[in-house]
Structure 1
Amino acid sequence: MMKRLILVDYENIGKIDLSLLDISYRAIIFVGAMQQLPKAARRDSTAHRFSRVDFQKIEGVGKNALDFHIAFHLGRTFEIAPETECIVLSKDKGFDPLLAYLNKHGLTCKRIAALEELVPQKMTELVQQVPESTCNHCGRGSCIEHLGGKWCSYCGQFSHSPEQQQLPSRSIPYSENRDTNGGGPRMGTCAWCSQHTDMSDGFFDEGEWMCPGCIIENAR
């Protein structure tokens, strides 16, 4: 199987999802000196989404600093494994002359402006046939039914609000626990807004709370 390496210019490509691509693809995301790694990559509960992704943090600040890092890594990859197909994911057309030069010398590389350009047409049509799974926030087709609403497994937000009666706070175990605490509210810290507040109508998933306010905000 041919190895395919995607080199991502994170300064102008904000999101990357390899879930629609086969296992021959892996990616290196080049992160600018003033940028942070994606929030999902920093969480233990969602880090598995990046099992085929490496991050390269750029230490210096300067014009085209990130582009030069990508160009260097292209050369190093082709020196070590010239059979690799390299794909630069960037909207910067400045890469094109370099890629044309490399192709002229028998290497295989190209630039794309969106990851969807690599998705087979049949897969694209299949995704378009199920618009109900598309998240209103990140645009990915990763929504699943959860607590009567639509929850996105990619960005971790509710695309459609959950049913109030299905929230954990309405369950019998929660009510019993509330009674043992003297009938007071269940306090907790929201993983999204970091507020320590009443989680009576909050949402608990994968060890983290989302407060009622964030549920409403993220469902808009």
Structure 2
Amino acid sequence: MKSALSTKETILNSAILLFNTKGYDGTSIRDISNKANVNPANISYYFHNKQGLLEACLVYFFEHYLNFLEEEVNLIALENRKECLNRAIYKILEFQGKNHFLTRFVWREISIDSQVIREITSSYLMKERYLFKRLLEEGEGNNASIYMKIIQLKSMLTMPFLNSQYLREVLHIFPQEKYFIEKYYLVLKEWIDQITVEKKETANQPIPTP
């Protein structure tokens, strides 16, 4: 007999797989119960309904994702800011690789921008913006400039997992593999070095006289 925890995990994992292949709207509670080999009543017991499953997916993803950022923000006063950002990026890539089906589903649903998704994720995304801003730039800085960097960084973090089919079938790259995570992390690390250098160069330029 399955334990309560394993039954709940089985339901959630089955939902994630089906949400990826059939889409959230195209997946029914009956589909999930058949995939998980459980009674539909079990889904109602643990998650209430399909939206409850959606919320569970998003909460699990963002609680881990933001925790990686928050851990490193808390170390900024003690360690080099760039190293904190590098560690956060590696942790996020590793987490997304291990949970690539969930990652693809979450970023895809956010791109659809539905009312339900906005209600669940708005506070998470505001916190994400704050944490990225703390890790990317010392002090307040220029919001327009820092937001452009956040856009670039988020694009690089999400693209391999959101477009995993393109990577597999066109580039023959598998984003869930450890080899890819290690190599791709070095690319992002190099990008961080570049924007750090650009900031220093700008700061050292002489102030023009009127």
Fold agreement, TM-score > 0.5: no
Bigger strand fraction: 1
Structure 2-normalised TM-score?
A: 0.28
